[in-house]
Structure 1
Amino acid sequence: MTFCEEVRKETDLYWEGSFNHPFVRGIVDGSLPIEKFKYYILQDAYYLKHYTKILAIAASKADTNDEITYFLNSARFINEAELELHRTVFNELEVSEEEIEQFEPAPAAYNYVSHMYNAVHNGDVAEAFAAMFPCPWLYQEIGEKYKDAKPGVKLYEEWIAMYSNPEFKESVENQKAMMNRYAELHPEKVHIYKSHFLKSCYYEWKFWEMPWTLENWEQEVKEYGFV
């Protein structure tokens, strides 16, 4: 099996957990409360802002012109296209300037971003990519799995359409080929790639749990009765 085939099989627990998470299923059937989606979008905007920066750092560590071009183009695409989409969605969700100014990343979002910064700062470009790749790959599979869904909510239908776009699938297939090449070129680092990939799969699942529970920094302390 290729690296991607192996790691996809080894992390399937997290993928199935994402496919069947009530947050994702709520988008698919239209039952997700809009306040939970709003919470998710704010956290996702934070994530994407830092994902863009991580791509740029990865570009600085790349060895070939093709790699540099890929990471810089990806950073520009997310910055210009996806964040513009979020700004549009912010308007539809009536996100206020005060909410943006007072925004605080939830533990799951903060930890996920910190994990990727750790990979890109302390590892090479391939290690960074292994930590970044689960995000687009998972979203593409979610889009493919639920492409025929009709949630009846405009924002949710647009979300599904974005990730079920054939061009997005083509991009992910190219990224699979790149990740497989890294593993073939550096077999001695495959265990590191797998470790980063697995952690990101876990944090992807946590990213659904986060808006579903409206996670905050005091939540677990209160749940365990420490205060």
Structure 2
Amino acid sequence: MEFCEKVRQETQFYWEASFNHPFVQGIADGSLPLEKFKFYMLQDAYYLKHYTKVLALAAAKATNDEDIQYFLNSARFIHEAELELHRTTFQDLNVTAEEIENFEVAPATYNYVSHMYNAVHNGDVAEAFAAILPCPWLYQEIGQQLKYARPNIPLYAQWIALYASDEMLQSINKQKSMLNRFAKEQPMKQKVLKAHFEKSCYYEWMFWEMPWTMQNWTKGVYMNEPTKN
């Protein structure tokens, strides 16, 4: 069994928790309040900005030209394409300049980004990649699961279409083959790679809970944590 298949099976709980989360299901049926989606998009823009930087740092640690080019091209793609989507979506959601200026990163977003930076700064390129792969892989699987959904909100239909595309599937297949190669090259490190991968799967789950609860630093970091007095 290849490394990616193995860790995917071993983290199934977190994937199912994401698939079944009311935030994701609310996108599918159009019932998600736009205010929650707006909160999510603001946090996601922050996440993607730092995801791009982690890709660039991974490029600096890569040891062959093909991997260096992959990480640099991926960073450029996310910066130019996905962040452009956020800018246009911000207009549709009526995000104001004041809201952007007063943006505060939520605990779940902060923790997730910190986890990725830890992997890339304190580990090698394989560790960095194990920490960042769950995000696009999960979104691709969500896109496939929701591709026949017909939400009555254009923003949600656009979101689903982005991640259900054939291009997204091809990209994920390439990324899985890369992580499998990294794992084969360093078999003694597979336990560490799995730990990074698993933490990111958990943080993906929390990334849905965060906008669902409109999480901030007074509401607690985890699900069901009581609000602080």
Q: Deviations over 1:19-73 (max 9, x none)?
A: 0000000000000000000000000000000000000000000000000000000
Q: How does 1:1-227 map to 2 (within 5 A)?
A: 1-220=1-220, 224=226, 227=229
* Partner Cα distance (1:18, 1:63) in 2: 34
Q: In structure 2, the residue corresponding to 1:152 is in which secondary structure?
A: coil
Q: Deviations over 1:124-148 (max 9, x none)?
A: 0000000000000000000001100
Between the two proteins, the alignment pairs up a number of residues equal to 227
Q: Deviations over 1:112-162 (max 9, x none)?
A: 000000000000000000000000000000000110000111000000000
Q: Scaled by the length of structure 1, what TM-score is found?
A: 0.98
Please provide the CA RMSD for this pair.
1.2
Q: In structure 1, the residue corresponding to 2:216 is in which secondary structure?
A: coil
* Partner Cα distance (1:2, 1:131) in 2: 17
Give the superposition deviation at 1:226.
5.0
Amino-acid identity (%): 67
Stretches of structure 2 lacking an aligned partner (at least 5 in a row)? none
Q: In structure 2, the residue corresponding to 1:219 is in which secondary structure?
A: coil
Question: Do 2:219 and 2:228's aligned partners in 1 also have CA atoms closer than 8 Å?
Answer: no
Structure 2 counterpart of 1:190, which letter? Answer: Q
Q: Deviations over 1:143-191 (max 9, x none)?
A: 0011000011100000000000001100000000000001111000000
Q: Deviations over 1:82-125 (max 9, x none)?
A: 00010000000000000000001000000000000000000000
Stretches of structure 1 lacking an aligned partner (at least 5 in a row)? none
Runs of 4+ displaced beyond 2 Å: 223-227
* Partner Cα distance (2:227, 2:82) in 1: 40
Question: Do 2:219 and 2:227's aligned partners in 1 also have CA atoms closer than 8 Å?
Answer: no
* Partner Cα distance (2:48, 2:75) in 1: 10
* Partner Cα distance (2:163, 2:205) in 1: 17
Question: Do 2:52 and 2:79's aligned partners in 1 also have CA atoms closer than 8 Å?
Answer: yes
* Partner Cα distance (1:226, 1:184) in 2: 46
* Partner Cα distance (2:166, 2:227) in 1: 48
Structure 1 counterpart of 2:202, which letter? Answer: Y
* Partner Cα distance (1:59, 1:6) in 2: 26
Q: In structure 2, the residue corresponding to 1:103 is in which secondary structure?
A: coil
Question: Do 2:106 and 2:210's aligned partners in 1 also have CA atoms closer than 8 Å?
Answer: yes
Structure 1 counterpart of 2:135, which letter? Answer: C
Structure 2 counterpart of 1:157, which letter? Answer: A
Q: In structure 2, the residue corresponding to 1:58 is in which secondary structure?
A: helix
Give the superposition deviation at 1:4.
0.5
Structure 1 counterpart of 2:43, which letter? Answer: Q
